Amino acid sequence: MIKWDHWHIEPSSICALRCPRCPRAEVPESLLNQQLSLDFFKNQIGADVAAQIRKITFCGNDGDPIYCRDLIDIIAWFKTVSPNIEIVLITNGSYKTVHWWKNLAQVLDHRDEIHWSLDGWDQDSNEQYRVWSDWISIMRGIEAFQTVNDSTYLVWAAIAFRFNQEHIEQMKAQATTLGFDCFQLTKSTRFGSKYPNAYGIDDMLEPTDSNLVATAHRFERVVTPLTAKTRPGTELKIEFQKRVTQLGNYSGICLIGNKGVFLNSGGEFYPCCWTANRYSHNDSWQGRFDLKTKTFDQIINDTFWTTDFLKFDSLECQTKCTPQRLTDSTHTSEW
């Protein structure tokens, strides 16, 4: 059965940026700018279900969580109903005020992580991919957060590109100076060598160093701790890895929990964020389960999960969750 103690939530499909490989840029026709409210969580998910959620990763397919008006109140509510919950927030970090970051810093604690997605080392370099990002507000936000909160785990999350491949050590050093606890380098799949029809055979964003490109059809990560601070989430990772050994013939990592069930900014529920992406190969998944019209109990007890779902026959399942990938502990434990 699908595991739902970890949720991946897109609180907002709004973003101030225009990263070229983001679905909001690649599939603009069906993009809706929308966001979830605190009332949605209280009324459509409810405290009883929320109390059973052990981890939430706030990260959008189409937008950035920090542009959700109620984000801080939503996190505070989850912390009230599920006091040991772990929060991971993934953001580009641009344009929020110092006041906002200080308020966020007051609701997060040592169980939580923030990932700032920074692919450059200053305004010009970061904008090579993070188009329309704002380096000054990013730096002010990081500093403001740290003046209030020194317990939350802070991650500099960079994607390897051609423009930064010679600057990775420099970015790592900058992350250390700024007080980050970890530098995470993502080797992406979204390049011409993987998808020549989409990105061309001479993809100017693709690193010329092939060691900086993912080897299969899912990103890969290299994680470098920069401080001695304990990274949250070890207990859950052990639990997720235990579940890998209990999968039998199934290869879906949605049966483990590490990936997280996905709630989009319109209130739709999916087994993972991959199936929710607005690419045409996912059309059959779109709108199948909607928390605006059904309760969570109705959705999770639907016979779909014990019948057709277990065929894992969609393109995403066939490429992302192969049996071979499940033997890779990084694949099953890194988010």
Mutual angle of helices 71-81 and 98-107, in 10-degree steps: 10
Strand order in the sheet with 55-58: 220-225, 182-187, 153-159, 113-117, 86-91, 55-58, 6-9, 261-263, 269-270
At position 177, the amino acid (one-letter code) is T
* Cβ-based nearer residue to ligand SF4, 111 or 125: 125
* Cβ-based nearer residue to ligand SF4, 64 or 86: 64
Interface with ligand SF4, residue 57, by CB under 6 A: no
Q: Is the CB of residue 82 less than 8 Å from the CB of residue 264? A: no
Binding-residue pattern over the window 7 to 46 for ligand SF4, x denoting contact by CB under 6 A: --------x-xxx--x-x----------------------
Comparing CA positions, the residue from 255, 272, 256 lying closest to residue 315 is 272
Q: Is the CB of residue 129 less than 8 Å from the CB of residue 20? A: yes
- Can you tell me the distance from the alpha carbon of 286 to that of 274, in angstroms, rounded to the nearest whole number? 11
Q: Smallest distance from the beta carbon of 316 to ligand SF4, in angstroms?
A: 4
Segment interacting with ligand SF4 (CB under 6 A) among 31-39, 147-155, 193-201, 317-325: 317-325
* Cβ-based nearer residue to ligand SF4, 22 or 81: 22
Segment interacting with ligand SF4 (CB under 6 A) among 59-67, 167-175, 185-193, 221-229: 59-67
Interface with ligand SF4, residue 263, by CB under 6 A: no
**Whole-Å CA distances, 292 to 10, 155, 189, 304, 335:** 15, 34, 33, 19, 27
Q: Smallest distance from the beta carbon of 274 to ligand SF4, in angstroms?
A: 5
Interface with ligand SF4, residue 317, by CB under 6 A: yes
Residue 136's CB: how many other CB atoms inside 10 A? 10
Binding-residue pattern over the window 222 to 261 for ligand SF4, x denoting contact by CB under 6 A: ------------------------------xxx----x--
* Cβ-based nearer residue to ligand SF4, 177 or 280: 280
Which residues are registered as beta bridge partners of 261? 7
Can you give the binding site for ligand SF4, defined by CB under 6 A?
15, 17-19, 22, 24, 60, 63-64, 92, 252-254, 259, 271-272, 274-275, 312, 316-317, 320-321
